[in-house]
Each structure stands twice: as C-alpha cells, then as structure tokens.
C-alpha cells in the first residue's frame, strides 16, 4: 500500500528523530523489566516483542527480565493452593515455589521467547538458576508496630533477595547475537530456590552490567506529583527529596527505590514507563518526547 505525501513525511520525520538515539545507543546494554498489563494483553505483548527486536536490529543489547504475578496467581487458584501476601510479597512455601518456578521459568518465559522469535528476533530464555546467574539469599521481613515490644521477623518462605549476579551466561547469549529473557528465580548457597521481585532483579542486573538504561514497565503513567501530574527529568537528589516529603509513597516506593539505586550505582538513566501504551519501549528509547518518568544524575532536564 502506497503512502500519501503527508504520511510519508511523517514516517521520514520519525526516522530522522530516531537516528541520533540509534547512534547513541549502539552497543549499549538496556535492561527492560517486562510486567503488568503488557504481559497479559496480546496486543501489548506483541508490540513489546517488536520493540525489543528493533532495538537488537539497530545494534543495542536489550536484556529482558520478566515478572508473572497474575499468571502465578491464576495457576495457584486452579490448583486450589491458598496464598497470602505480606507487605505486597507472596508467602512462598515449597508447594507454592514449585508453581512459581513452573510458571516463571516455564510457560511465561517461553511465551516471551516465542513472541520475540515470532516477530523476527532470536531470544533465549533462562532463569537465575542457570549457570548460577542469580545467587540469592532468604529475604527477611521485619514488621514494626506500636503494639510490638520488639520488631517481628516474619518468615515468608522461599522469597529471596539478590546476593550476587554472575553475568557470564548473559554475556555468552549477547555475544552470540541473541536476546536474553530472564526469569527472576535465584538459587541459594545450599541449592534452595528463591522467588525474587522482578524489579529488584532488573535493577541489580543493570548495575552489574553498567547498563545505559534501566526501563521498568508499570501499569501507571509514571511517577506523579501531589497534583497528579507526571514528573520527569529528575535527578537522584530530587527523587530523594520527593521520598522525604511523602510525594513518593506506598506501592511506588520499591520501584522508585530500585531505579534510584541503579542510577546511584552507575546506570546512566532509569525510566518508569507506562506499559499499557503500545510500543512504550520504542517511544521512550527513540523519540524526543519519551514517556513516563526519567531519573538520572544529570541536571539537564531534557536529556534522555
């Protein structure tokens, strides 16, 4: 189908606008956490896969880390396995961990790999257990309260935190011109399997690989101020201030904390972007406008 003149000019403008970003990010590592609506909506899932394929084709090195909470919850319900949450984290006993590993390391991971391959890319799926990629330790949850004389330590089972990341497996995949797709499952020193928050894995991975960008897909437009407007072009010190004055609170705190730690540890920039928008990753990477919230150590607010 031929384009009319106006449509053709629009295409040319988009390509011209993208060129400086393509040149700037050639050979750079970009860690993308894939989750939320984009994982369960077929249209968004497909657009994400195309975005990642294009990034790879123009010379970038995308690394995908994915979650899978809704899928885990759905299978647990079908199997009549009761599950509880403490401070937003799923209590994971041995039986639940088997389901988590089956879903994250199996169906969800392979679905993302298949989607990328179907859209012209070449992806390989791994979990943090492969090649001891993610060494984990048990996460300790401490609850404080006025009714407690001493803080209460709560055992939430096979929920872990990242202790160490060995990027050898990822480097082999990237050097072989494939796209790594990583399930956030770690292994302890004693061989125990741990379920780890995907945002935390993505953030730690970005730090270890000294990535150019950390991109966290969410179900919100970005970080909002107290009036409900999107905040962007933030420095790490500004984010610290927003946490201190209560602008950032609740469920957004862990995600922002992950992005903040990554930038403070050498990642060039972190982005909280709206995964409900088709091609959100492309729009953030290749356009002047970008999307969502950008956090970096730079004071030039328009800098991407």
Average pLDDT, integer, range 269-293: 87
Average pLDDT, integer, range 63-71: 93
Q: What is the mean pLDDT of the chain?
A: 87
Q: How far is the C-alpha of 32 from the C-alpha of 62, rounded, in Å?
A: 7
Average pLDDT, integer, range 138-161: 69
Q: Where are the domains of the chain?
A: 27-218+269-278
- Name the residue with higher pLDDT: 60 or 35: 60
pLDDT at 33 exceeding the cut of 90: yes
Average pLDDT, integer, range 153-161: 83
For residue 300, the model assigns a pLDDT of 43
For residue 303, the model assigns a pLDDT of 46
Q: How confident is the model at residue 248 (pLDDT cuts 50, 70, 90)?
A: confident
Confidence (pTM): 0.89
pLDDT at 59 exceeding the cut of 90: yes
Task: Give tens-digit pLDDT for 163-195.
Answer: 999 999 999 999 999 999 999 999 999 999 999
CATH number of 27-218+269-278: 3.40.1160.10
């Amino acid at each position: 189908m031929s384009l009319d003149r106006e449509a053709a000019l629009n295409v040319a403008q988009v390509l011209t606008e993208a060129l400086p970003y393509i040149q700037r990010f050639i050979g750079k590592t970009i860690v993308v956490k894939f989750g939320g609506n984009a994982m369960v909506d077929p249209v968004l899932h497909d657009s994400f896969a195309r975005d990642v394929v294009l990034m790879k084709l123009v010379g970038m090195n995308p690394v995908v880390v994915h979650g899978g909470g809704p899928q885990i919850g759905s299978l647990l319900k079908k199997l009549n396995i009761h599950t509880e949450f403490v401070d937003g984290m799923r209590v994971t006993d041995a039986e639940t961990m088997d389901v988590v590993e089956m879903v994250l390391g199996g169906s969800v991971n392979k679905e993302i790999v298949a989607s990328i391959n179907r859209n012209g890319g070449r992806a390989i799926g791994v979990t943090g257990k492969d090649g001891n990629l993610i060494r984990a330790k048990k996460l300790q949850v401490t609850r404080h309260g006025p009714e407690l004389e001493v803080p209460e330590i709560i055992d939430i089972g096979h929920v872990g935190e990242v202790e160490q990341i060995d990027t050898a497996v990822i480097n082999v995949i990237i050097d072989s011109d494939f796209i790594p797709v990583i399930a956030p499952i770690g292994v302890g020193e004693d061989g125990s399997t741990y379920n780890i928050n995907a945002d935390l894995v993505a953030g730690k991975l970005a730090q270890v690989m000294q990535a150019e960008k950390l991109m966290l897909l969410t179900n919100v437009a970005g970080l909002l101020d107290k009036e409900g407007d999107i905040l962007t072009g933030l420095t790490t010190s500004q984010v610290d201030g927003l946490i201190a004055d209560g602008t950032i609170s609740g469920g957004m705190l862990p995600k922002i904390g992950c992005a903040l730690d990554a930038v403070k540890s050498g990642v060039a920039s972190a982005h909280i972007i709206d995964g409900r928008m088709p091609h959100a990753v492309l729009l953030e990477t290749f356009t002047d406008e970008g999307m969502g919230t950008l956090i970096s150590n730079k004071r030039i607010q328009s800098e991407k």
